[in-house]
Amino acid sequence: MGGGLKELEQISAADFFYRNRSLAGFDNPVRATYTTVRELVENALDASELAGRPPKVMLTMEEVAEGRLEGTAVYMLRVRDNGVGLDPEDVPAAFGKVFVSSKYKLMQSRGTFGLGGTMALLYGQITTNRPFKVITGREGSPLYEFTMKIDIQKNEPIVLDRRILAGVTRRSMTTVELYFEGNYRRARSKIIDYLHQTAIVTPYADIMFIDPDGLFFFFARTTDQIPPPPKETKFHPKGIDFELLKRLAETTNTRKLAGFLTTHFQRVGPKTAAEILARAGLSPDLSPKRLSDEELERLFKALVTYDNYLPPDPSVLSPLGPNLWEEGIKKELRPEFVKAVQRPPAVVEGHPVIVETAIAYGGDIKPAGEIQLYRFANRIPLLYDVSSDVSYLVARRLNWSVYGLKSLEDEPIALFFHVVSTKVPFKTVGKEFIANKPELAREVELGWRACARDLRIYLSRKRRAASAARRVELLSRYYALIAEVLEELTGERPPIETVLAKVARKAKVEVPVEVRESGDGS
Protein backbone atom coordinates (compact mmCIF):
# COMPACT_ATOMS: atom_id res chain seq x y z
CA MET A 1 0.00 0.00 0.00
CA GLY A 2 3.01 2.30 -0.30
CA GLY A 3 2.90 5.07 2.28
CA GLY A 4 -0.49 3.97 3.55
CA LEU A 5 -3.05 6.53 4.69
CA LYS A 6 -0.56 9.39 4.46
CA GLU A 7 -0.91 9.25 0.66
CA LEU A 8 -4.70 9.61 0.73
CA GLU A 9 -6.18 13.04 0.06
CA GLN A 10 -9.64 14.40 0.72
CA ILE A 11 -10.85 17.24 -1.50
CA SER A 12 -13.91 19.48 -1.40
CA ALA A 13 -16.74 19.48 -3.93
CA ALA A 14 -15.45 22.76 -5.39
CA ASP A 15 -11.94 21.29 -5.69
CA PHE A 16 -13.32 18.20 -7.43
CA PHE A 17 -15.01 20.27 -10.12
CA TYR A 18 -11.97 22.52 -10.36
CA ARG A 19 -10.00 19.42 -11.30
CA ASN A 20 -12.75 17.89 -13.45
CA ARG A 21 -14.54 20.91 -14.89
CA SER A 22 -15.18 19.10 -18.18
CA LEU A 23 -17.91 17.18 -16.34
CA ALA A 24 -19.89 20.42 -16.02
CA GLY A 25 -19.37 21.56 -19.62
CA PHE A 26 -16.27 23.73 -19.13
CA ASP A 27 -13.82 21.51 -21.00
CA ASN A 28 -12.53 24.14 -23.47
CA PRO A 29 -12.84 27.93 -23.93
CA VAL A 30 -15.53 27.66 -26.61
CA ARG A 31 -17.78 25.26 -24.72
CA ALA A 32 -17.12 27.14 -21.47
CA THR A 33 -18.30 30.42 -23.00
CA TYR A 34 -21.56 28.85 -24.09
CA THR A 35 -22.03 27.00 -20.79
CA THR A 36 -21.39 30.14 -18.72
CA VAL A 37 -24.12 32.04 -20.58
CA ARG A 38 -26.50 29.10 -20.45
CA GLU A 39 -26.17 28.44 -16.72
CA LEU A 40 -26.66 32.06 -15.69
CA VAL A 41 -29.61 32.57 -18.05
CA GLU A 42 -31.35 29.48 -16.68
CA ASN A 43 -30.81 30.65 -13.10
CA ALA A 44 -32.32 34.00 -14.06
CA LEU A 45 -35.37 32.41 -15.70
CA ASP A 46 -35.92 30.17 -12.68
CA ALA A 47 -35.78 33.16 -10.32
CA SER A 48 -38.30 35.14 -12.38
CA GLU A 49 -40.73 32.24 -12.76
CA LEU A 50 -40.48 31.61 -9.03
CA ALA A 51 -41.62 35.21 -8.54
CA GLY A 52 -44.65 34.46 -10.74
CA ARG A 53 -43.92 37.18 -13.28
CA PRO A 54 -42.87 37.16 -16.96
CA PRO A 55 -39.06 36.99 -16.94
CA LYS A 56 -36.95 39.91 -18.09
CA VAL A 57 -33.36 38.79 -18.59
CA MET A 58 -30.67 41.23 -19.71
CA LEU A 59 -27.20 40.01 -20.71
CA THR A 60 -24.19 42.12 -21.62
CA MET A 61 -20.80 40.71 -22.56
CA GLU A 62 -17.71 42.86 -23.04
CA GLU A 63 -14.19 41.95 -24.09
CA VAL A 64 -11.81 43.50 -21.54
CA ALA A 65 -8.41 41.89 -22.21
CA GLU A 66 -6.56 39.34 -24.29
CA GLY A 67 -6.60 35.76 -23.09
CA ARG A 68 -3.63 33.57 -22.33
CA LEU A 69 -4.50 31.01 -25.01
CA GLU A 70 -4.58 31.70 -28.73
CA GLY A 71 -7.99 32.93 -29.87
CA THR A 72 -9.26 33.59 -26.35
CA ALA A 73 -10.09 36.79 -24.51
CA VAL A 74 -11.16 37.84 -21.04
CA TYR A 75 -14.83 38.80 -21.00
CA MET A 76 -17.02 40.53 -18.48
CA LEU A 77 -20.50 39.00 -18.42
CA ARG A 78 -23.37 40.64 -16.59
CA VAL A 79 -26.77 38.93 -16.25
CA ARG A 80 -29.73 40.70 -14.65
CA ASP A 81 -33.18 39.31 -13.90
CA ASN A 82 -36.43 40.49 -12.32
CA GLY A 83 -36.72 37.44 -10.09
CA VAL A 84 -37.43 37.05 -6.40
CA GLY A 85 -34.07 38.38 -5.24
CA LEU A 86 -32.20 37.02 -2.21
CA ASP A 87 -31.90 37.90 1.43
CA PRO A 88 -28.35 39.16 2.13
CA GLU A 89 -27.57 36.33 4.57
CA ASP A 90 -28.28 33.76 1.80
CA VAL A 91 -26.03 35.30 -0.87
CA PRO A 92 -22.62 33.90 0.21
CA ALA A 93 -23.79 30.29 0.37
CA ALA A 94 -25.99 30.52 -2.74
CA PHE A 95 -23.18 31.81 -4.96
CA GLY A 96 -20.02 30.78 -3.13
CA LYS A 97 -20.50 27.07 -2.40
CA VAL A 98 -20.78 24.17 -4.84
CA PHE A 99 -23.81 21.95 -4.21
CA VAL A 100 -25.87 24.56 -2.38
CA SER A 101 -29.22 24.84 -4.13
CA SER A 102 -32.97 25.12 -3.76
CA LYS A 103 -33.33 22.25 -6.27
CA TYR A 104 -32.64 19.24 -4.04
CA LYS A 105 -36.30 18.31 -3.95
CA LEU A 106 -38.38 15.88 -5.94
CA MET A 107 -39.87 18.42 -8.32
CA GLN A 108 -39.40 19.56 -11.89
CA SER A 109 -36.65 22.15 -12.30
CA ARG A 110 -34.31 23.36 -15.04
CA GLY A 111 -31.18 22.34 -13.16
CA THR A 112 -30.57 19.41 -10.90
CA PHE A 113 -27.30 19.60 -9.03
CA GLY A 114 -27.07 23.22 -7.79
CA LEU A 115 -23.80 23.26 -9.70
CA GLY A 116 -24.10 25.18 -12.96
CA GLY A 117 -24.32 28.81 -11.81
CA THR A 118 -21.66 28.41 -9.11
CA MET A 119 -19.47 26.45 -11.51
CA ALA A 120 -19.62 29.37 -13.97
CA LEU A 121 -18.39 31.69 -11.21
CA LEU A 122 -15.74 29.16 -10.23
CA TYR A 123 -14.57 28.85 -13.84
CA GLY A 124 -14.29 32.63 -14.08
CA GLN A 125 -12.18 32.75 -10.93
CA ILE A 126 -9.77 30.00 -11.96
CA THR A 127 -9.21 31.49 -15.44
CA THR A 128 -8.88 35.18 -14.46
CA ASN A 129 -8.32 35.26 -10.66
CA ARG A 130 -10.89 38.05 -10.49
CA PRO A 131 -13.75 38.20 -7.99
CA PHE A 132 -17.40 38.22 -9.04
CA LYS A 133 -20.19 40.55 -7.94
CA VAL A 134 -23.76 39.86 -6.92
CA ILE A 135 -26.28 42.69 -6.63
CA THR A 136 -29.62 41.63 -5.22
CA GLY A 137 -32.60 42.88 -3.31
CA ARG A 138 -36.24 42.27 -2.64
CA GLU A 139 -39.03 44.75 -3.17
CA GLY A 140 -39.19 47.17 -0.24
CA SER A 141 -35.81 46.02 1.16
CA PRO A 142 -32.26 47.35 0.75
CA LEU A 143 -30.28 46.60 -2.39
CA TYR A 144 -27.00 44.84 -1.54
CA GLU A 145 -23.79 44.41 -3.50
CA PHE A 146 -21.42 41.54 -2.67
CA THR A 147 -17.90 41.16 -4.06
CA MET A 148 -16.84 37.55 -3.60
CA LYS A 149 -14.49 34.71 -4.36
CA ILE A 150 -14.69 30.99 -3.65
CA ASP A 151 -12.22 29.13 -1.41
CA ILE A 152 -11.82 26.15 -3.70
CA GLN A 153 -10.05 23.88 -1.25
CA LYS A 154 -12.66 24.43 1.48
CA ASN A 155 -15.71 24.97 -0.78
CA GLU A 156 -16.51 28.13 1.19
CA PRO A 157 -17.43 31.67 0.10
CA ILE A 158 -14.99 34.52 0.62
CA VAL A 159 -16.83 37.84 0.97
CA LEU A 160 -14.37 40.59 -0.01
CA ASP A 161 -16.86 43.44 0.26
CA ARG A 162 -20.49 43.93 1.19
CA ARG A 163 -22.34 47.20 0.94
CA ILE A 164 -25.80 48.70 0.57
CA LEU A 165 -26.41 50.37 -2.79
CA ALA A 166 -29.89 51.69 -1.98
CA GLY A 167 -31.98 51.90 1.15
CA VAL A 168 -35.06 50.56 -0.64
CA THR A 169 -35.39 48.81 -3.98
CA ARG A 170 -38.62 49.25 -5.91
CA ARG A 171 -38.50 45.85 -7.59
CA SER A 172 -36.95 42.50 -6.72
CA MET A 173 -33.92 41.76 -8.87
CA THR A 174 -30.55 40.05 -9.04
CA THR A 175 -27.49 40.91 -11.12
CA VAL A 176 -24.47 38.62 -11.42
CA GLU A 177 -21.23 39.99 -12.86
CA LEU A 178 -18.15 37.87 -13.54
CA TYR A 179 -14.97 37.76 -15.58
CA PHE A 180 -13.90 34.64 -17.45
CA GLU A 181 -11.55 33.55 -20.21
CA GLY A 182 -13.30 32.18 -23.27
CA ASN A 183 -13.75 32.35 -27.01
CA TYR A 184 -16.92 34.20 -27.97
CA ARG A 185 -16.08 34.30 -31.69
CA ARG A 186 -16.37 30.53 -32.02
CA ALA A 187 -19.15 30.16 -29.42
CA ARG A 188 -21.29 32.95 -30.87
CA SER A 189 -23.50 30.80 -33.11
CA LYS A 190 -24.26 28.36 -30.27
CA ILE A 191 -25.07 31.18 -27.85
CA ILE A 192 -27.44 32.91 -30.28
CA ASP A 193 -29.03 29.58 -31.17
CA TYR A 194 -29.46 28.84 -27.47
CA LEU A 195 -31.15 32.20 -26.81
CA HIS A 196 -33.32 31.73 -29.91
CA GLN A 197 -34.46 28.30 -28.78
CA THR A 198 -34.98 29.51 -25.22
CA ALA A 199 -37.30 32.17 -26.65
CA ILE A 200 -39.26 29.41 -28.40
CA VAL A 201 -39.83 27.45 -25.20
CA THR A 202 -40.42 30.57 -23.04
CA PRO A 203 -42.60 32.85 -25.20
CA TYR A 204 -43.53 34.71 -22.01
CA ALA A 205 -39.94 35.97 -21.46
CA ASP A 206 -38.12 39.07 -22.67
CA ILE A 207 -34.48 38.19 -23.35
CA MET A 208 -31.98 40.87 -24.32
CA PHE A 209 -28.32 40.36 -25.21
CA ILE A 210 -25.58 42.85 -26.11
CA ASP A 211 -22.57 40.93 -27.38
CA PRO A 212 -18.87 41.94 -27.35
CA ASP A 213 -19.23 43.43 -30.86
CA GLY A 214 -22.02 45.73 -29.69
CA LEU A 215 -24.73 43.79 -31.52
CA PHE A 216 -28.11 43.84 -29.81
CA PHE A 217 -30.35 40.77 -29.82
CA PHE A 218 -33.88 41.07 -28.48
CA PHE A 219 -36.29 38.18 -28.12
CA ALA A 220 -39.57 39.80 -27.12
CA ARG A 221 -42.33 38.00 -25.30
CA THR A 222 -45.71 37.71 -26.99
CA THR A 223 -47.73 36.59 -23.99
CA ASP A 224 -47.89 37.18 -20.25
CA GLN A 225 -49.16 33.66 -19.57
CA ILE A 226 -46.74 31.55 -17.50
CA PRO A 227 -47.12 27.79 -17.00
CA PRO A 228 -48.24 26.91 -13.47
CA PRO A 229 -45.24 26.28 -11.20
CA PRO A 230 -44.30 22.68 -10.38
CA LYS A 231 -45.07 21.27 -6.95
CA GLU A 232 -42.87 19.27 -4.64
CA THR A 233 -43.91 15.66 -4.29
CA LYS A 234 -43.17 12.49 -2.37
CA PHE A 235 -41.13 9.68 -3.87
CA HIS A 236 -42.87 7.01 -5.90
CA PRO A 237 -41.84 3.53 -4.66
CA LYS A 238 -40.88 2.41 -8.18
CA GLY A 239 -38.33 5.22 -8.45
CA ILE A 240 -36.28 4.65 -5.28
CA ASP A 241 -33.08 2.78 -4.47
CA PHE A 242 -31.89 1.10 -1.28
CA GLU A 243 -29.77 4.05 -0.13
CA LEU A 244 -32.72 6.47 -0.38
CA LEU A 245 -34.96 4.09 1.61
CA LYS A 246 -32.28 3.80 4.29
CA ARG A 247 -31.90 7.58 4.57
CA LEU A 248 -35.64 8.11 4.84
CA ALA A 249 -35.90 5.45 7.54
CA GLU A 250 -33.07 7.02 9.54
CA THR A 251 -34.49 10.57 9.41
CA THR A 252 -38.26 9.96 9.60
CA ASN A 253 -40.37 11.32 12.43
CA THR A 254 -42.94 8.53 12.10
CA ARG A 255 -42.91 5.87 14.80
CA LYS A 256 -44.46 2.93 12.98
CA LEU A 257 -43.56 1.29 9.68
CA ALA A 258 -47.09 1.55 8.26
CA GLY A 259 -47.13 5.30 8.87
CA PHE A 260 -43.62 5.60 7.43
CA LEU A 261 -44.77 4.18 4.08
CA THR A 262 -47.91 6.32 3.81
CA THR A 263 -46.05 9.47 4.92
CA HIS A 264 -42.97 9.31 2.68
CA PHE A 265 -44.27 7.69 -0.51
CA GLN A 266 -46.94 8.79 -2.95
CA ARG A 267 -49.60 6.33 -4.10
CA VAL A 268 -49.22 4.32 -0.86
CA GLY A 269 -52.33 4.28 1.33
CA PRO A 270 -53.05 2.12 4.38
CA LYS A 271 -54.24 -0.84 2.30
CA THR A 272 -51.24 -0.75 -0.05
CA ALA A 273 -48.87 -0.33 2.91
CA ALA A 274 -50.36 -3.40 4.60
CA GLU A 275 -49.93 -5.48 1.42
CA ILE A 276 -46.30 -4.38 1.03
CA LEU A 277 -45.43 -5.15 4.65
CA ALA A 278 -47.09 -8.55 4.35
CA ARG A 279 -44.91 -9.30 1.30
CA ALA A 280 -41.85 -8.20 3.28
CA GLY A 281 -42.86 -10.21 6.35
CA LEU A 282 -42.61 -7.13 8.59
CA SER A 283 -44.93 -5.93 11.34
CA PRO A 284 -46.64 -2.55 10.67
CA ASP A 285 -45.83 -1.55 14.27
CA LEU A 286 -42.05 -1.79 13.87
CA SER A 287 -40.03 1.42 14.23
CA PRO A 288 -38.45 2.47 10.89
CA LYS A 289 -35.33 3.73 12.69
CA ARG A 290 -34.70 0.35 14.31
CA LEU A 291 -34.83 -1.79 11.18
CA SER A 292 -31.81 -3.98 10.55
CA ASP A 293 -30.11 -3.99 7.16
CA GLU A 294 -31.70 -7.37 6.43
CA GLU A 295 -35.17 -6.01 7.28
CA LEU A 296 -34.55 -2.92 5.14
CA GLU A 297 -33.54 -5.13 2.22
CA ARG A 298 -36.78 -7.10 2.55
CA LEU A 299 -38.79 -3.88 2.68
CA PHE A 300 -36.95 -2.48 -0.33
CA LYS A 301 -37.56 -5.61 -2.40
CA ALA A 302 -41.26 -5.59 -1.49
CA LEU A 303 -41.59 -1.88 -2.42
CA VAL A 304 -40.00 -2.11 -5.87
CA THR A 305 -41.59 -5.43 -6.88
CA TYR A 306 -45.15 -4.50 -5.90
CA ASP A 307 -47.13 -3.95 -9.12
CA ASN A 308 -50.45 -2.47 -8.04
CA TYR A 309 -49.37 1.15 -7.53
CA LEU A 310 -51.18 3.95 -9.31
CA PRO A 311 -48.92 5.89 -11.71
CA PRO A 312 -46.83 8.76 -10.24
CA ASP A 313 -48.68 12.01 -9.58
CA PRO A 314 -48.32 14.23 -12.70
CA SER A 315 -49.43 17.42 -10.90
CA VAL A 316 -45.79 17.89 -9.87
CA LEU A 317 -44.93 18.66 -13.51
CA SER A 318 -45.24 21.98 -15.30
CA PRO A 319 -45.56 21.34 -19.04
CA LEU A 320 -45.63 24.21 -21.48
CA GLY A 321 -49.03 23.30 -22.96
CA PRO A 322 -50.01 23.28 -26.67
CA ASN A 323 -51.01 26.96 -26.77
CA LEU A 324 -47.76 28.35 -25.36
CA TRP A 325 -45.79 25.76 -27.36
CA GLU A 326 -47.35 26.96 -30.61
CA GLU A 327 -47.05 30.62 -29.55
CA GLY A 328 -43.30 30.30 -29.10
CA ILE A 329 -42.80 28.51 -32.41
CA LYS A 330 -44.89 31.07 -34.31
CA LYS A 331 -43.03 33.94 -32.66
CA GLU A 332 -39.54 32.77 -33.58
CA LEU A 333 -39.99 30.76 -36.80
CA ARG A 334 -43.14 32.24 -38.39
CA PRO A 335 -44.30 29.00 -40.09
CA GLU A 336 -47.39 28.73 -42.26
CA PHE A 337 -48.51 25.68 -40.25
CA VAL A 338 -47.86 24.59 -36.68
CA LYS A 339 -49.41 21.92 -34.52
CA ALA A 340 -48.46 21.07 -30.93
CA VAL A 341 -49.59 18.09 -28.85
CA GLN A 342 -49.25 17.33 -25.16
CA ARG A 343 -49.23 13.63 -24.41
CA PRO A 344 -50.92 12.20 -21.29
CA PRO A 345 -48.62 11.60 -18.30
CA ALA A 346 -46.40 8.52 -18.57
CA VAL A 347 -43.95 6.78 -16.25
CA VAL A 348 -40.23 6.32 -16.96
CA GLU A 349 -38.10 4.57 -14.34
CA GLY A 350 -40.68 5.31 -11.66
CA HIS A 351 -40.86 9.04 -12.38
CA PRO A 352 -43.74 10.97 -13.98
CA VAL A 353 -43.03 12.22 -17.49
CA ILE A 354 -44.99 14.39 -19.90
CA VAL A 355 -43.87 14.58 -23.51
CA GLU A 356 -44.82 17.54 -25.70
CA THR A 357 -44.29 17.45 -29.45
CA ALA A 358 -44.85 19.88 -32.30
CA ILE A 359 -44.40 20.12 -36.05
CA ALA A 360 -43.98 23.38 -37.97
CA TYR A 361 -44.05 23.68 -41.76
CA GLY A 362 -43.30 26.38 -44.33
CA GLY A 363 -43.08 30.10 -43.77
CA ASP A 364 -39.56 31.08 -42.71
CA ILE A 365 -38.61 27.40 -42.36
CA LYS A 366 -36.60 26.30 -45.40
CA PRO A 367 -35.28 22.86 -46.40
CA ALA A 368 -31.90 22.39 -44.75
CA GLY A 369 -30.66 19.09 -46.18
CA GLU A 370 -30.86 17.59 -42.68
CA ILE A 371 -33.46 16.97 -40.00
CA GLN A 372 -34.37 20.23 -38.28
CA LEU A 373 -34.99 19.03 -34.73
CA TYR A 374 -35.47 21.25 -31.68
CA ARG A 375 -35.05 19.41 -28.38
CA PHE A 376 -35.89 20.63 -24.88
CA ALA A 377 -35.83 19.13 -21.38
CA ASN A 378 -37.66 21.00 -18.61
CA ARG A 379 -37.59 24.09 -20.86
CA ILE A 380 -33.82 23.84 -21.47
CA PRO A 381 -32.65 23.73 -25.12
CA LEU A 382 -30.37 20.78 -25.92
CA LEU A 383 -27.88 21.76 -28.63
CA TYR A 384 -25.30 18.96 -28.61
CA ASP A 385 -25.29 15.22 -29.42
CA VAL A 386 -28.52 15.38 -31.40
CA SER A 387 -27.95 12.11 -33.29
CA SER A 388 -27.90 10.12 -30.03
CA ASP A 389 -31.17 11.52 -28.70
CA VAL A 390 -34.32 9.40 -28.45
CA SER A 391 -36.26 11.98 -30.48
CA TYR A 392 -33.77 11.86 -33.37
CA LEU A 393 -33.93 8.07 -33.47
CA VAL A 394 -37.74 8.19 -33.56
CA ALA A 395 -37.72 10.84 -36.30
CA ARG A 396 -35.42 8.64 -38.38
CA ARG A 397 -37.55 5.52 -38.18
CA LEU A 398 -40.98 7.06 -38.82
CA ASN A 399 -42.40 6.71 -42.33
CA TRP A 400 -43.14 10.36 -43.12
CA SER A 401 -44.37 9.61 -46.65
CA VAL A 402 -47.61 8.40 -45.06
CA TYR A 403 -48.24 12.05 -44.13
CA GLY A 404 -47.53 13.47 -47.57
CA LEU A 405 -43.86 14.30 -47.05
CA LYS A 406 -40.98 13.32 -49.28
CA SER A 407 -38.31 13.41 -46.57
CA LEU A 408 -37.52 15.49 -43.53
CA GLU A 409 -34.25 16.65 -45.11
CA ASP A 410 -35.85 18.04 -48.28
CA GLU A 411 -39.03 19.59 -46.85
CA PRO A 412 -39.49 22.96 -45.12
CA ILE A 413 -40.33 21.21 -41.86
CA ALA A 414 -39.12 21.41 -38.25
CA LEU A 415 -39.78 18.91 -35.47
CA PHE A 416 -39.99 19.81 -31.77
CA PHE A 417 -39.64 17.61 -28.70
CA HIS A 418 -40.02 18.66 -25.06
CA VAL A 419 -39.87 16.34 -22.06
CA VAL A 420 -40.77 17.44 -18.53
CA SER A 421 -40.04 15.22 -15.55
CA THR A 422 -38.81 15.19 -11.98
CA LYS A 423 -35.93 13.13 -13.35
CA VAL A 424 -35.18 13.47 -17.06
CA PRO A 425 -33.44 10.28 -18.27
CA PHE A 426 -30.28 11.94 -19.59
CA LYS A 427 -27.71 9.52 -20.93
CA THR A 428 -24.53 11.36 -19.90
CA VAL A 429 -23.26 13.73 -17.21
CA GLY A 430 -23.28 16.55 -19.77
CA LYS A 431 -27.10 16.28 -20.01
CA GLU A 432 -27.18 16.97 -23.76
CA PHE A 433 -29.17 14.01 -25.03
CA ILE A 434 -31.94 11.83 -23.65
CA ALA A 435 -31.77 8.06 -23.37
CA ASN A 436 -33.69 5.88 -25.81
CA LYS A 437 -36.13 4.44 -23.27
CA PRO A 438 -38.91 2.40 -24.99
CA GLU A 439 -41.72 4.07 -23.02
CA LEU A 440 -40.32 7.51 -23.82
CA ALA A 441 -39.80 6.70 -27.51
CA ARG A 442 -43.42 5.55 -27.69
CA GLU A 443 -44.66 8.90 -26.34
CA VAL A 444 -42.54 10.84 -28.83
CA GLU A 445 -43.79 8.73 -31.74
CA LEU A 446 -47.46 9.04 -30.77
CA GLY A 447 -47.09 12.79 -30.30
CA TRP A 448 -45.50 13.35 -33.68
CA ARG A 449 -48.01 11.09 -35.40
CA ALA A 450 -50.86 13.19 -33.97
CA CYS A 451 -49.18 16.38 -35.24
CA ALA A 452 -48.42 14.83 -38.63
CA ARG A 453 -52.06 13.82 -39.18
CA ASP A 454 -53.07 17.48 -38.99
CA LEU A 455 -50.16 18.39 -41.26
CA ARG A 456 -51.31 15.81 -43.84
CA ILE A 457 -54.79 17.39 -43.89
CA TYR A 458 -53.27 20.85 -44.26
CA LEU A 459 -50.95 19.80 -47.09
CA SER A 460 -53.78 17.97 -48.88
CA ARG A 461 -55.96 21.08 -48.82
CA LYS A 462 -53.04 23.23 -49.88
CA ARG A 463 -52.26 20.98 -52.84
CA ARG A 464 -55.91 20.83 -53.94
CA ALA A 465 -56.08 24.62 -53.77
CA ALA A 466 -52.86 24.90 -55.79
CA SER A 467 -54.26 22.52 -58.41
CA ALA A 468 -57.47 24.54 -58.67
CA ALA A 469 -55.49 27.75 -58.90
CA ARG A 470 -53.56 26.32 -61.84
CA ARG A 471 -56.84 25.45 -63.55
CA VAL A 472 -58.07 29.02 -63.05
CA GLU A 473 -54.83 30.33 -64.51
CA LEU A 474 -55.05 28.06 -67.56
CA LEU A 475 -58.69 28.94 -68.16
CA SER A 476 -57.92 32.64 -67.81
CA ARG A 477 -55.21 32.35 -70.44
CA TYR A 478 -57.46 30.76 -73.06
CA TYR A 479 -60.94 31.95 -72.11
CA ALA A 480 -61.08 34.58 -74.91
CA LEU A 481 -60.17 32.03 -77.59
CA ILE A 482 -62.66 29.48 -76.18
CA ALA A 483 -65.38 32.13 -76.05
CA GLU A 484 -64.85 33.13 -79.68
CA VAL A 485 -64.99 29.52 -80.89
CA LEU A 486 -68.16 28.82 -78.89
CA GLU A 487 -69.74 32.04 -80.19
CA GLU A 488 -69.11 30.93 -83.80
CA LEU A 489 -70.61 27.52 -83.11
CA THR A 490 -73.63 28.56 -81.01
CA GLY A 491 -74.19 32.18 -81.92
CA GLU A 492 -73.81 33.19 -78.28
CA ARG A 493 -70.78 34.30 -76.34
CA PRO A 494 -70.67 32.33 -73.04
CA PRO A 495 -69.87 34.23 -69.81
CA ILE A 496 -66.52 32.51 -69.26
CA GLU A 497 -65.73 34.87 -66.36
CA THR A 498 -68.66 33.28 -64.47
CA VAL A 499 -67.12 29.84 -64.87
CA LEU A 500 -63.79 31.19 -63.70
CA ALA A 501 -65.41 32.76 -60.65
CA LYS A 502 -66.89 29.42 -59.60
CA VAL A 503 -63.56 27.64 -59.96
CA ALA A 504 -61.77 30.47 -58.16
CA ARG A 505 -64.19 30.33 -55.23
CA LYS A 506 -63.49 26.62 -54.77
CA ALA A 507 -59.77 27.24 -54.98
CA LYS A 508 -60.04 30.29 -52.70
CA VAL A 509 -58.05 32.39 -55.18
CA GLU A 510 -58.75 35.61 -57.04
CA VAL A 511 -59.93 35.69 -60.64
CA PRO A 512 -57.14 37.33 -62.70
CA VAL A 513 -57.55 41.12 -62.95
CA GLU A 514 -57.68 41.15 -66.74
CA VAL A 515 -60.65 38.76 -66.65
CA ARG A 516 -62.57 40.80 -64.07
CA GLU A 517 -61.97 44.03 -65.99
CA SER A 518 -63.10 42.55 -69.32
CA GLY A 519 -66.66 42.27 -68.02
CA ASP A 520 -68.40 40.23 -70.74
CA GLY A 521 -65.20 38.57 -71.82
CA SER A 522 -64.76 40.61 -75.00
Mean pLDDT for each consecutive 10-residue tract of the chain (522 residues)?
A: 56 72 80 94 91 94 93 96 92 81 49 65 93 94 95 91 88 95 96 97 97 96 90 82 91 94 92 95 94 94 91 84 96 97 87 93 94 95 92 96 92 96 80 89 97 95 78 69 73 64 60 47 38
- Can you give the pLDDT at residue 513? 47
Residue 228 DSSP code: P
Instruction: For domain 319-458, give the CATH number.
Output: 3.30.230.10
Q: Global pTM?
A: 0.82
Cβ atoms of 365 and 409 within 8 Å: the answer is no
Q: Helix, strand, coil shares of the chain as percentages rounded to 5?
A: 45, 20, 35
- Cα separations in angstroms, 93 against 90, 98, 129, 150, 377: 6, 9, 20, 10, 27
Cβ atoms of 310 and 292 within 8 Å: the answer is no
- Can you give the pLDDT at residue 505? 66
319-458: same fold as 13-219? no
Distance CA 375, CA 424 (A): 13
- Mapped to the 3 state alphabet, what secondary structure does 439-450 carry? HHHHHHHHHHHH
Give ∠ CA 6-12-16 in degrees, rounded to 5.
100
Helix (H, G, I), strand (E, B) or coil at 352: strand
Paired residues of 78 in beta bridges: 60, 177
Cβ atoms of 325 and 354 within 8 Å: the answer is no
- Can you give the pLDDT at residue 497? 60
Query: What's the distance, Cα to Cα, between the start and end of the chain in Å?
Result: 107
Distance CA 494, CA 468 (A): 21
Distance CA 125, CA 118 (A): 11
- Can you give the pLDDT at residue 515? 47
- Can you give the pLDDT at residue 381? 94
- Can you give the pLDDT at residue 35? 92
Instruction: Tell how far CA 58 is from the center of its chain.
Output: 19
Distance CA 500, CA 475 (A): 7
- Cα separations in angstroms, 502 against 75, 138, 509: 65, 66, 10
Domain locations along the chain: 13-219, 237-305, 319-458, 463-518
Distance CA 97, CA 157 (A): 6
237-305 has CATH 1.10.8.50 classification: yes
Residue 336 DSSP code: S
In 3D space, the residue among 409, 415, 417, 412 whose CA is nearest the CA of residue 365 turns out to be 412
Distance CA 375, CA 392 (A): 9
CATH fold of 13-219 reads Heat Shock Protein 90 (3.30.565)
